[in-house]
Protein backbone atom coordinates (compact mmCIF):
# COMPACT_ATOMS: atom_id res chain seq x y z
CA UNK A 1 0.00 0.00 0.00
CA UNK A 2 1.39 3.38 -1.07
CA UNK A 3 0.68 5.80 1.78
CA UNK A 4 1.36 9.50 1.32
CA UNK A 5 3.21 10.90 4.32
CA UNK A 6 5.19 13.80 5.74
CA UNK A 7 7.96 13.12 8.24
CA UNK A 8 8.83 16.09 10.41
CA UNK A 9 12.25 15.21 11.76
CA UNK A 10 12.69 17.51 14.72
CA UNK A 11 15.75 15.55 15.85
CA UNK A 12 13.97 14.20 18.90
CA UNK A 13 14.35 10.76 20.43
CA UNK A 14 10.75 9.63 19.83
CA UNK A 15 8.18 9.96 17.05
CA UNK A 16 4.41 10.38 17.06
CA UNK A 17 2.38 8.90 14.21
CA UNK A 18 -0.65 11.19 13.62
CA UNK A 19 -3.84 9.89 11.97
CA UNK A 20 -6.69 12.16 10.92
CA UNK A 21 -10.45 11.71 10.92
CA UNK A 22 -13.04 11.05 8.20
CA UNK A 23 -13.40 13.47 5.25
CA UNK A 24 -10.08 15.18 5.90
CA UNK A 25 -6.39 14.64 5.30
CA UNK A 26 -3.11 15.01 7.15
CA UNK A 27 -3.28 18.82 7.04
CA UNK A 28 -6.28 18.73 9.39
CA UNK A 29 -3.86 17.65 12.13
CA UNK A 30 -1.30 20.39 11.46
CA UNK A 31 -2.05 22.22 14.72
CA UNK A 32 -1.45 19.02 16.68
CA UNK A 33 1.79 18.53 14.77
CA UNK A 34 2.96 22.03 15.72
CA UNK A 35 2.00 21.62 19.37
CA UNK A 36 3.90 18.33 19.76
CA UNK A 37 6.96 19.35 17.73
CA UNK A 38 8.80 20.72 20.76
CA UNK A 39 9.20 17.20 22.12
CA UNK A 40 8.72 14.75 19.25
CA UNK A 41 9.33 13.99 15.62
CA UNK A 42 5.98 13.80 13.80
CA UNK A 43 4.92 11.36 11.10
CA UNK A 44 1.73 12.57 9.38
CA UNK A 45 -0.14 10.37 6.91
CA UNK A 46 -3.01 10.63 4.48
CA UNK A 47 -5.17 7.60 5.20
CA UNK A 48 -6.56 5.76 2.14
CA UNK A 49 -9.24 7.73 0.32
CA UNK A 50 -7.99 11.11 1.57
CA UNK A 51 -5.38 13.61 0.50
CA UNK A 52 -2.94 11.90 -1.87
CA UNK A 53 -3.42 8.30 -0.70
CA UNK A 54 -5.68 6.29 -3.00
CA UNK A 55 -8.34 3.83 -1.92
CA UNK A 56 -9.98 3.00 -5.25
CA UNK A 57 -8.52 0.13 -7.26
CA UNK A 58 -6.90 -1.44 -4.19
CA UNK A 59 -8.18 -4.41 -2.20
CA UNK A 60 -7.45 -4.00 1.50
CA UNK A 61 -8.91 -4.27 4.98
CA UNK A 62 -8.29 -2.28 8.14
CA UNK A 63 -5.77 -4.91 9.25
CA UNK A 64 -3.95 -4.60 5.93
CA UNK A 65 -3.96 -0.82 6.29
CA UNK A 66 -2.23 -1.14 9.66
CA UNK A 67 0.31 -3.46 8.03
CA UNK A 68 0.97 -0.74 5.45
CA UNK A 69 1.60 1.74 8.24
CA UNK A 70 3.98 -0.71 9.90
CA UNK A 71 5.90 -1.03 6.62
CA UNK A 72 6.06 2.76 6.36
CA UNK A 73 7.56 3.16 9.83
CA UNK A 74 10.11 0.44 9.03
CA UNK A 75 11.09 2.18 5.79
CA UNK A 76 11.79 5.34 7.79
CA UNK A 77 13.92 3.46 10.30
CA UNK A 78 11.43 3.99 13.14
CA UNK A 79 11.57 1.01 15.47
CA UNK A 80 8.71 2.22 17.69
CA UNK A 81 6.30 5.15 17.60
CA UNK A 82 3.60 6.72 19.71
CA UNK A 83 0.27 6.60 17.83
CA UNK A 84 -2.30 9.38 18.00
CA UNK A 85 -5.55 9.01 16.11
CA UNK A 86 -8.75 11.02 15.90
CA UNK A 87 -12.10 9.29 15.22
CA UNK A 88 -11.51 7.23 12.04
CA UNK A 89 -7.78 7.73 12.60
CA UNK A 90 -8.29 6.44 16.13
CA UNK A 91 -9.82 3.23 14.81
CA UNK A 92 -6.78 2.90 12.58
CA UNK A 93 -4.49 3.57 15.55
CA UNK A 94 -6.22 0.78 17.50
CA UNK A 95 -5.68 -1.61 14.58
CA UNK A 96 -2.00 -0.67 14.46
CA UNK A 97 -1.70 -1.13 18.23
CA UNK A 98 -3.40 -4.53 18.18
CA UNK A 99 -1.68 -5.91 15.09
CA UNK A 100 1.81 -4.45 15.63
CA UNK A 101 2.22 -3.99 19.39
CA UNK A 102 6.02 -4.20 19.28
CA UNK A 103 6.05 -1.05 17.15
CA UNK A 104 4.02 1.05 19.61
CA UNK A 105 5.32 3.03 22.60
CA UNK A 106 1.92 4.34 23.69
CA UNK A 107 -1.42 5.35 22.16
CA UNK A 108 -3.60 8.45 22.30
CA UNK A 109 -7.15 7.78 21.09
CA UNK A 110 -9.37 10.82 20.57
CA UNK A 111 -13.12 10.27 20.19
CA UNK A 112 -12.82 6.79 18.80
CA UNK A 113 -14.11 3.23 19.01
CA UNK A 114 -12.70 -0.30 18.61
CA UNK A 115 -15.53 -1.07 16.19
CA UNK A 116 -18.90 -2.79 16.45
CA UNK A 117 -18.80 -6.15 18.20
CA UNK A 118 -22.39 -7.28 17.56
CA UNK A 119 -22.57 -8.82 14.08
CA UNK A 120 -26.16 -7.71 13.44
CA UNK A 121 -25.42 -4.14 14.48
CA UNK A 122 -22.32 -4.15 12.29
CA UNK A 123 -24.38 -5.33 9.30
CA UNK A 124 -26.90 -2.55 9.92
CA UNK A 125 -24.06 -0.02 10.05
CA UNK A 126 -22.64 -1.39 6.79
CA UNK A 127 -25.97 -0.76 5.08
CA UNK A 128 -25.91 2.80 6.42
CA UNK A 129 -22.34 3.23 5.17
CA UNK A 130 -23.34 1.98 1.72
CA UNK A 131 -26.13 4.57 1.56
CA UNK A 132 -23.72 7.24 2.74
CA UNK A 133 -21.20 6.22 0.08
CA UNK A 134 -23.87 6.54 -2.60
CA UNK A 135 -24.84 9.98 -1.25
CA UNK A 136 -21.19 11.05 -1.31
CA UNK A 137 -20.78 10.18 -4.98
CA UNK A 138 -24.19 11.57 -5.99
CA UNK A 139 -24.06 14.95 -4.24
CA UNK A 140 -20.88 15.50 -2.25
CA UNK A 141 -21.54 19.12 -1.26
CA UNK A 142 -24.92 18.26 0.23
CA UNK A 143 -23.38 15.31 2.08
CA UNK A 144 -20.71 17.60 3.57
CA UNK A 145 -23.38 20.05 4.71
CA UNK A 146 -25.46 17.27 6.31
CA UNK A 147 -22.37 15.68 7.90
CA UNK A 148 -21.50 18.96 9.60
CA UNK A 149 -25.01 19.13 11.03
CA UNK A 150 -24.73 15.80 12.84
CA UNK A 151 -25.13 15.91 16.61
CA UNK A 152 -21.46 14.95 17.01
CA UNK A 153 -20.50 18.41 15.84
CA UNK A 154 -23.13 20.60 17.56
CA UNK A 155 -20.50 22.05 19.90
CA UNK A 156 -18.53 23.44 16.95
CA UNK A 157 -21.04 26.26 16.46
CA UNK A 158 -19.27 28.05 19.32
CA UNK A 159 -15.74 28.02 17.89
CA UNK A 160 -13.87 30.45 15.67
CA UNK A 161 -15.41 30.88 12.21
CA UNK A 162 -12.02 30.67 10.49
CA UNK A 163 -11.49 27.18 11.93
CA UNK A 164 -14.88 26.06 10.62
CA UNK A 165 -14.12 27.55 7.21
CA UNK A 166 -10.79 25.72 6.99
CA UNK A 167 -12.45 22.49 8.07
CA UNK A 168 -15.12 22.84 5.39
CA UNK A 169 -12.52 23.66 2.72
CA UNK A 170 -10.51 20.61 3.70
CA UNK A 171 -13.58 18.38 3.50
CA UNK A 172 -14.61 19.76 0.10
CA UNK A 173 -11.09 19.30 -1.26
CA UNK A 174 -11.35 15.51 -0.95
CA UNK A 175 -12.23 13.32 -3.95
CA UNK A 176 -15.80 12.00 -3.47
CA UNK A 177 -15.06 8.69 -5.20
CA UNK A 178 -12.10 8.08 -2.92
CA UNK A 179 -14.01 9.10 0.21
CA UNK A 180 -16.89 6.76 -0.64
CA UNK A 181 -14.52 3.88 -1.39
CA UNK A 182 -12.76 4.27 1.96
CA UNK A 183 -16.07 4.06 3.80
CA UNK A 184 -16.86 0.72 2.18
CA UNK A 185 -13.39 -0.75 2.73
CA UNK A 186 -12.52 0.26 6.32
CA UNK A 187 -15.55 1.99 7.74
CA UNK A 188 -17.08 0.93 11.04
CA UNK A 189 -19.58 -1.29 9.24
CA UNK A 190 -16.91 -3.52 7.73
CA UNK A 191 -13.82 -3.48 9.98
CA UNK A 192 -13.45 -6.24 12.54
CA UNK A 193 -14.05 -5.27 16.15
CA UNK A 194 -11.05 -5.02 18.51
CA UNK A 195 -12.92 -4.93 21.82
CA UNK A 196 -11.62 -8.21 23.20
CA UNK A 197 -8.09 -7.48 21.98
CA UNK A 198 -7.93 -4.46 24.29
CA UNK A 199 -7.49 -6.77 27.28
CA UNK A 200 -4.04 -7.78 26.03
CA UNK A 201 -2.61 -4.31 25.33
CA UNK A 202 0.60 -3.77 27.33
CA UNK A 203 1.08 -0.11 26.44
CA UNK A 204 -0.31 2.94 28.22
CA UNK A 205 -3.38 4.27 26.41
CA UNK A 206 -4.87 7.75 26.77
CA UNK A 207 -8.59 7.87 25.97
CA UNK A 208 -10.04 11.30 25.23
CA UNK A 209 -13.73 12.12 24.87
CA UNK A 210 -15.60 15.42 24.77
CA UNK A 211 -18.00 16.28 27.57
CA UNK A 212 -20.76 16.94 25.01
CA UNK A 213 -20.09 13.79 22.97
CA UNK A 214 -22.37 11.38 24.86
CA UNK A 215 -21.94 8.41 22.52
CA UNK A 216 -18.16 8.38 22.64
CA UNK A 217 -18.01 9.14 26.34
CA UNK A 218 -19.80 5.84 26.98
CA UNK A 219 -17.72 3.94 24.44
CA UNK A 220 -14.51 5.18 26.03
CA UNK A 221 -15.67 4.34 29.54
CA UNK A 222 -16.22 0.77 28.33
CA UNK A 223 -12.80 0.71 26.68
CA UNK A 224 -11.20 1.86 29.93
CA UNK A 225 -12.66 -1.15 31.71
CA UNK A 226 -10.87 -3.51 29.32
CA UNK A 227 -7.48 -1.87 28.86
CA UNK A 228 -4.82 -2.83 31.45
CA UNK A 229 -3.22 0.66 31.57
CA UNK A 230 -5.84 3.25 30.57
CA UNK A 231 -6.16 6.92 31.34
CA UNK A 232 -9.58 8.34 30.48
CA UNK A 233 -10.06 12.09 30.34
CA UNK A 234 -13.36 13.81 29.60
CA UNK A 235 -12.64 17.28 28.21
CA UNK A 236 -15.12 19.88 29.44
CA UNK A 237 -16.94 22.08 26.96
CA UNK A 238 -16.01 20.03 23.90
CA UNK A 239 -17.69 17.64 21.51
CA UNK A 240 -16.21 15.17 19.05
CA UNK A 241 -13.26 17.14 17.66
CA UNK A 242 -11.38 18.01 20.84
CA UNK A 243 -8.11 19.05 19.20
CA UNK A 244 -9.93 21.73 17.18
CA UNK A 245 -12.40 22.87 19.84
CA UNK A 246 -9.88 23.11 22.68
CA UNK A 247 -6.43 23.18 21.09
CA UNK A 248 -4.42 24.40 24.09
CA UNK A 249 -6.07 22.06 26.55
CA UNK A 250 -5.65 19.14 24.14
CA UNK A 251 -1.93 19.87 23.73
CA UNK A 252 -1.35 20.10 27.49
CA UNK A 253 -3.11 16.79 28.13
CA UNK A 254 -1.40 14.91 25.31
CA UNK A 255 2.10 16.24 25.98
CA UNK A 256 1.72 15.41 29.66
CA UNK A 257 0.75 11.87 28.79
CA UNK A 258 3.41 11.28 26.13
CA UNK A 259 6.15 12.58 28.41
CA UNK A 260 5.09 10.04 31.03
CA UNK A 261 7.18 7.20 29.63
CA UNK A 262 6.36 3.49 29.84
CA UNK A 263 3.65 2.04 32.08
CA UNK A 264 4.61 1.51 35.68
CA UNK A 265 2.68 -1.70 36.18
CA UNK A 266 -0.28 0.10 37.79
CA UNK A 267 -3.78 0.29 36.41
CA UNK A 268 -5.06 3.87 36.02
CA UNK A 269 -8.75 3.56 35.20
CA UNK A 270 -9.90 6.75 36.88
CA UNK A 271 -12.02 9.08 34.77
CA UNK A 272 -10.85 12.67 34.94
CA UNK A 273 -12.79 15.70 33.83
CA UNK A 274 -10.47 18.40 32.50
User: In CATH, what number is assigned to the domain containing residue 184?
Assistant: 3.40.50.1820
- Between 64 and 162, the more confident residue is 64
Number of structural domains (the chain) is: 1
Query: How sure is the predictor about 262, in pLDDT bands with cuts at 50, 70 and 90?
Result: very low
Query: How sure is the predictor about 119, in pLDDT bands with cuts at 50, 70 and 90?
Result: very high
Instruction: Write down the pLDDT at residue 270.
Output: 55
Cα gap 224→206, rounded to integer Å: 9
What pairing do the DSSP bridges indicate for beta strands 41-45 and 5-8?
antiparallel
Instruction: Write down the pLDDT at residue 273.
Output: 66
Q: What value does the mean pLDDT of the chain take?
A: 93
- Between 228 and 159, the more confident residue is 228
Alpha helices in 112-206 (DSSP H): 119-138, 140-148, 161-172, 176-186
Average pLDDT over residues 51-64: 97
Closest CA to 124 of 136, 112, 132: 132
pLDDT at 264 exceeding the cut of 50: no
The dihedral over CA atoms of 211, 214, 242, 134, expressed in degrees to the nearest 10, equals: -160
Structural domain harbouring 178: 5-273
The reported pTM is 0.93
Amino acid sequence: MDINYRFNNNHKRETVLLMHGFISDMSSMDTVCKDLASDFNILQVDLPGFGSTRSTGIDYTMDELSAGLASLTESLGLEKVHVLGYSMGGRTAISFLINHPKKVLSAVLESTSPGIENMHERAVRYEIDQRRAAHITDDYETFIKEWGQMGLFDSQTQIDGNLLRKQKENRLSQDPLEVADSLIKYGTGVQRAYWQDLKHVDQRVLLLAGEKDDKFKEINKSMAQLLPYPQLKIVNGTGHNIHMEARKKFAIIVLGFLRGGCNNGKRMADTQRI
